[in-house]
Chain A
Amino acid sequence: MVRNRDFWAGIIFLAIGVGLLVFLIPVGIDEPKRVKFAVMSPSYYPRIIAIAITIIGLMITLGALAEKKPGSSFPNIDARPIFKVVVVFIAFLLTAYALPHAGFVLTCTLALFFLMILAGERNPFIIAPVALLLPICLHLFFAKIANVPIPGGILEPFLQGI
């Protein structure tokens, strides 16, 4: 299992290194027209790091292949928790997407409800106060004391009145 992880980690490093050298650095770094010394180029340092990532990726992959027992295969990462991972990722990304539209208080209240229930909490006398009060308290602290303009979203008129 450990070597399996090494193999995939090596492949990922290798892919990132090659991706940087072949695509991301040539396309993503704007070179100035005149550079006096090669080392001053904006792409010099990233290129060195990309080469290092590629070499490290290659070493890890080859190391994992050398340790592989005959007859065993690599691509068997445990797929059972993938569904749960996807649900949590979607919840996180939905939260980030909803923040500017629905506001922090409403979004975080809904996120707290969902995540606490997903985590196994069933007591409504814990879920309700935590989910309702925590985002309001945090909003008041950041907005009123720390002067951070927290987006209120659709609850803005209500929150301004507090």
Chain B
Amino acid sequence: MYDTLANAIGLFATFQNVMVLFVGVVVGTITGAIPGMTTPMAVALTLPFTFAMQPVTGILLLLGVYKGGLYGGSITAILINAPGTPAASCTAIDGYPMAKRGEARRALDMALYASCVADFVSNLSLILFAGVLASFALQFGPAEVFTLIVFSLTIISGVSGDQLLKGYGSACLGLILATLGLDLVFGTNRFVFGNLNLMNGLAFIPVLIGLFALPEIINFFVQKSTPREQSALAGMGATFADFKNNLKTIIRGSFIGVVLGAIPGIGGAPAAFLSYSEARRTSKNKANFGKGELEGVAASEAGNNGVAGATLIPLLALGIPGDIITAIILGAFMVHGLRPGPLMFQENIDLIYALFIGIMLSSFYLLIIGKASIRVMSKISDIPQRILFPVVFVFCVFGAYAVNNSIFDVMVMMIMGIVGFAMLKLEIPAAPFLIAFILGPMLEDNFRQAMLISKGDPGVFFSTLICWVFWVLTTVVVGLTIWSYIKERQSEMVSRGVGNLG
């Protein structure tokens, strides 16, 4: 054991490895912060540079970009309401209202602290519980994932505020939009209407940018005179007390991220939404969620970054890539003649330990790089809106195009912007639309896969303990939501009655 550790330290502790990891986190943070530059894109672009490197060095570079990118996505989500990744859209729900109040730095600080803690917890889980989590993750079939997504969707009630019915309607619109494209089972067209661009469905990023960033821009041009409300905490960073108050939420979100990250194909978005939902459910400031609550930023970033180390569990322990990024990292392993899986723990244990050391160091790098960037980045929200909004619009145009090199995506972004503006004016909450649009494909695919396996028997959704646990949790959350909605309506009617009598 000690020999292995000594060998791993020897393998890792070179100037090149330490620097390359640092460069990776910097590149990831910068690219993650540019709308349209997704983390998978940044990792894929970095891949060719690793070919000439030693295996440990090359893989550390990719891991650095990955970890930096996860945090970087939250920067634009908070500052300009243009999330760089689907998971970061959850951060935008509370981060952007905070930035509008002048608390961008506080939100960015908390996002960074939550990211670093979650990343650290996730890395530690990877090192200590890879075997246990991998075997647990393997118990998740389509039925279990379906019930998990159903439970994740209960957050819709939370983000709908006092517009519960409109929130459900908005979520249904998101679900229907997610069905566009080819049917996964039969390969037939759904709402394609002869347009080849629609065959793959709508890309996430243009829809996210269109729905979040553009309505703000249109609204600015329509009501140019709206002054910025400045809170007493404007310009200040997050304090140690803020961090301490949110630590419980961050730790809980980190573990949600770890468990969901270990399941192949789940990714950061459901983890972020579930963590956010749990934070809201247990918070004293429930009503402030969605209006700029610091705990909301902490929860979503913890969930999002909690998956970072955990997604490597199925990759390293079983050789199964859980998402696009780990698939690219698997490619990097294979380019260097390595095959992740159980055998790798016997044949290349030094390399695995060296990667673990590098992964732990990346959390520390993330803190330093993030802290240095926040001071500069938070100034963006001080730029006058008459300059900032046109500039953001141009960023959005480039960003939407860069995802698939498609003008069609720019068009989709523009149309979603118009839809988002109409929703804003009609007080239809956009967050449920977005959550349903992201989780919708997973919901339907797993539902149909489970039905295919069970030959049409719906009993498959009640066949395992995991399914039952999620059904019970869903029932409890939905029941509590309906109960509190009825109570609110009743007290509203009572107060109105008293008002009329007066």
Contact = CB atoms under 8 A, between A and B. Distances in A.
A134 B398 CA distance: 11
Given A42-B183, A96-B411, A138-B394, A115 B172 contact: no
A99 B400 CA distance: 12
B483 interface: no
A95 B417 CA distance: 14
Contact of A111 (B223, B384, B390, B428): B390
Contacts of A59: 165
Contact of B190 (A9, A42, A92): A42
A119 interface: yes
Contact of A53 (B169, B188, B389): B169
Nearest to A35: B186
Interface stretch (B91-99, B119-127, B251-259, B402-410): B402-410
Nearest to B427: A5
Given A8-B426, A40-B448, A119-B220, A147 B394 contact: no
Given A40-B448, A111-B390, A32 B221 contact: no
A28 B186 contact: no
Interface stretch (A12-20, A68-76, A154-162): A12-20
A2 B452 CA distance: 45
B427 A81 contact: no
User: How extensive is the interface on chain B, given as a class?
Assistant: 35 or more
Interface in B430-454: 444, 447-448, 451-452
Contacts of B223: 81
A148 B165 contact: no
Nearest to B177: A49
B405 A29 contact: no
Interface string B385-422: 11101110111011001100101001100100110010
A149 B404 CA distance: 10
B386 A120 contact: yes
B212 to A, nearest CB: 15
B187 to A, nearest CB: 9
Contacts of B172: 49, 52-53, 56
A10 B426 CA distance: 10
Nearest to B37: A146
Given A9-B428, A88-B222, A119-B389, A49 B165 contact: no
Contact of B402 (A37, A49, A142): A142
A108 B405 CA distance: 16
Given A53-B176, A121-B387, A93 B414 contact: yes
A95 B397 contact: yes
Contacts of A32: 186, 188
B394 A119 contact: no
Contacts of A30: 188-190
Interface string A21-36: 0001000111110011
With most chain A CB atoms within 10 A of its CB, the pick from B168, B394, B428, B447 is: B394
A6 B425 CA distance: 11
A39 B391 contact: no
B166 interface: yes
A45 interface: yes
Interface in B142-194: 165-166, 168-169, 172-173, 175-176, 179, 183, 185-186, 188-193
B455 interface: yes
With most chain A CB atoms within 10 A of its CB, the pick from B384, B448, B452 is: B448
B241 interface: no
A35 B456 CA distance: 11
A149 B405 contact: yes
A79 interface: no
A2 B427 contact: yes
B398 A84 contact: no
Contact of A108 (B394, B451, B455): B394
Contacts of B224: 119-120
B387 A138 contact: no
Interface in A51-80: 52-53, 56-57, 59-60, 63
A150 B401 contact: yes
A22 to B, nearest CB: 14
B169 A45 contact: no
B184 to A, nearest CB: 9
A40 B456 contact: yes
A46 B174 CA distance: 11
A49 B89 CA distance: 23
Contact of B188 (A31, A56, A95, A120): A31
Nearest to B175: A49
Contact of B452 (A24, A40, A120, A134): A40
A57 B444 CA distance: 23
A104 to B, nearest CB: 7
A128 to B, nearest CB: 12
A50 interface: yes
16 contacts: A39-B458, A40-B451, A43-B190, A57-B169, A60-B165, A60-B169, A92-B414, A104-B397, A104-B398, A108-B397, A115-B389, A120-B224, A134-B394, A146-B41, A150-B401, A151-B407
Interface of B: 31, 34, 37, 41, 45, 165-166, 168-169, 172-173, 175-176, 179, 183, 185-186, 188-193, 214, 217-218, 220-224, 384-387, 389-391, 393-395, 397-398, 401-402, 405, 407, 410-411, 414, 417-418, 421, 425-428, 444, 447-448, 451-452, 455-456, 458
Interface of A: 2, 5-6, 8-9, 12-13, 16, 20, 24, 28-32, 35-37, 39-40, 42-43, 45-46, 49-50, 52-53, 56-57, 59-60, 63, 81, 84-85, 87-89, 92-93, 95-96, 99-100, 104, 108, 111-112, 115-116, 118-121, 126, 130, 134-135, 138, 141-142, 146-151
Give me the 3 closest cross-chain CB pairs, A-B, nearest first.
A37-B456, A115-B390, A119-B386
